[in-house]
Amino acid sequence: MVRYSPMFALINKDSYGSVNRGNKFGINGAKKITKKSEMHIAAFVSDHNLSYNLMNHFVQLLPKLYPDSEVARNIKCKRTKCSALVNNMNLPIEAAQSTYV
């Protein structure tokens, strides 16, 4: 049985519109992908019950792991932003009630 997180279901609704995932996704596309990536990271931290203090070091690690990635360089999601994202995500009732798929 696969673990299901209601936060990931909310993020995957693509509330930022369509994103061109080609090699050249433009300035607005890069910002959208960066925001979505920050939301995924925050949902991952919350879903796996990790400490928010981990984010202070994890964000600094990403550009070192992926030096050619513009998204990895642009992620600015440390402890306070991560906790704000988790606390301010509005989950639909049906997504919050279903824990497993």
Rounded to whole angstroms, the Cα distance separating 25 from 19 reads: 8
| pTM of the predicted protein model | 0.65
**Contact yes or no for 11/88 (Cβ under 8 A):** no
Tokens of 96: 């919050």
Bigger pLDDT: 88 vs 1: 88
Q: How far is CA 98 from the centre of its chain?
A: 20
* Nearest Cα residue to 38 out of 67, 68, 64, 16: 16
User: Domain coordinates of the chain in residue numbers?
Assistant: 6-12+27-97
Q: Give tens-digit pLDDT for 21-73.
A: 444 555 678 888 999 999 999 989 988 989 999 999 999 999 999 999 999 99
